[in-house]
Structure 1
Amino acid sequence: NFVGTLGTALNDNHVTLLKRFARRMILLFDGDAAGQMATERALPRFLAHEVDLRTLTLPGGQDPAEFLEQHGADALRELLRQSVEAWEYKYRLVVERHGLDSIDSRHRVLQEMLEILAKVPLAPGTGLAGKWREREQVILGRLSQRLKVGEAFIRDRLADLRRQQQSEGLSFQAAEPPAPVAAQSVDCTMPVRPSRDERAELDLLLAIFTHPGQAGAAAREVVPADLTHSGLRRLYEVCWEMIRDEQPPTFDRVSLVIEDRALLRLAVDVDELARASDPGEDLLEHSLAYFRRRHELEAHRQASEPELAEAPVAEAPPGDSRLTAAELEKLRRATKLHRTRTSRPTSYPNEESARAPAG
């Protein structure tokens, strides 16, 4: 039996459902770099469950449809029979990435493998989920033998990583996730009549999806908190995290890590708009220029407000309704500040590209 994820990241509910129908599972994503990343990302979700998880990467970076068309079903069945255990697959990838020919490389391999173990879901109130502790014993023993590192040291290092991830709120939970209260406040609809701010934010994402190689320049100047539209801000957060990890935030990569359906629909809408408008490479600079102007206005406002608040006001003589010189000066400064606040550009370059798609 074959089950398609349809571009959705696997979660604990999916694994629990699959386990009802089969004990042995084979992860078969596309053979390109994004598919390998999806396989590695899914590994912690499966490890805590009592399943025989195996992985298969198709040669030549092909996806399953391409392989079937070129080689046929029998060839695919033969590769499926040769699929390796998921933990072994991960170990081989890490060794290929870092090698084992030095102390530093062995340390990197150990660190990356333990980071996967530290992400295994925890069952509330019971510590390690299910019978994972028994399986973990076997894995740690293998790591100790292969890397020639004491098992006691490996256990201590794993315990440190678990405490660190729990303190940072990074460990997964095996139980049903709580109701997404915070997610309800995120507007994941495409702006129909975007404001000037929203147009600049939308153009920022259009530029990133169309020219992901420029994304580093965006991340250096714009942080997620700079975006006012909650849905576009959340989508930019996903891209921003990928940029920090030195991964190009292409639509394919972004869609693989988004689990929220509403946010995924927004990502699809932005990608469709990018394909339809095909913006040039100068779009990012237009958007960044707008953000720079916003930053300048905000800095000016923050510098002006304390000055106004601290300005002394001389008392006028009783019965004198005229403004004193100090009051006139304060009024002049307040008027100047108001004009500065309202002096945002009345037009935004490339407005046509920021319109929401029809329908």
Structure 2
Amino acid sequence: MNKLLISSLLTCSFGAAQAQQAAPYHLLHTIPIGGEGGWDYLTVDPAGKRLYVSHGTRVEVVDLQTRKVIGTIANTPGVHGIEVVPAAGRGYITCGRTNTCVVFDLKTLQPIGAPIPTGPKPDALFYDAFSKRVFLFSNAGGNSTVLDGATGAVVGTAELGGDVEAPASNGQGTIFVNLEDKGEVIAFDAKTLAVKARHSLAPGEEPTGLGFDPRTHRLFSACANEKLVVTDSKTGQQVAVLPIGKGADGAVFDPTTGNVITSNGASGTFTVIHQDSPVKYRVVGNLTTARGARTIALDPKTHHLFTCTADYGPAPAPTAENPHPRPSIVPGTFRVLEYGK
């Protein structure tokens, strides 16, 4: 065996071992919530030191100092996303079953006015501090209902041309979103609402979670076929494609650590990828979380990661209306998992 081949094998072995090593996070706290129902997004409010967790037909509010549930926002059927606007003293919740957005008071957790009609299947939402607008993204129909963040008034509709998943912003008037059905990441103007660019994510398919690094202009799209696609947001050029866990639905980027983290519900892991440079990325490791822990939230102050899940029971019998039923959720087992270094 020649020296070049030996060197190559050693390099590959080292790279594989490096990718399999433990990720630089561990479980800090398990926050029991209980009750029944499914879940989707969870959102950290650093200013209020709270965590908002979607849960069936309500939102659970957790105090991040005591790690106790301090309140519930009820009557949010099919809740998906939660966003807060501290300067306005209000928050926004997308309700997929009723195609509405519920507005609530941050102090009392009570609703403000009647629910706001949205496009079909409102899912992710995002407050853009630059435009001072809240964007409610439909996972069917390809549009975004746009609200004034201070008043909740509808100010427009963005036609985005696909089933929209997680958003991000460059902080200067451009919003990015993944289009799950088109396999694209697109950019649109936060004020004019016009689409500015579309970029294919192939070989990535069905992108959901989206992270962004404004310093290097890198977008991180977590895809259903176990790939993270890194895109230059200015040019649309693909920078890297990396392996991630199965069933990813969330992705965050922590500029302090340089880590991209995806939450992979089917494999029950976080995949941690480090940005060594704007053009070099490596898988640091895969941290075991729990089956079903598919979404993720980052606290930018503590750099802690949050996800949520519950225990699963057997799936109900298939029917003509539901030939592939999901496993049942064991009542009382819903919980939040908090990770840190």
TM-score computed with the length of structure 2 as normaliser: 0.26
Compare the two structures and name the one with the higher strand fraction: 2
Q: Specify the structure having the higher radius of gyration (Cα).
A: 1
Compare the two structures and name the one with the higher helix fraction: 1
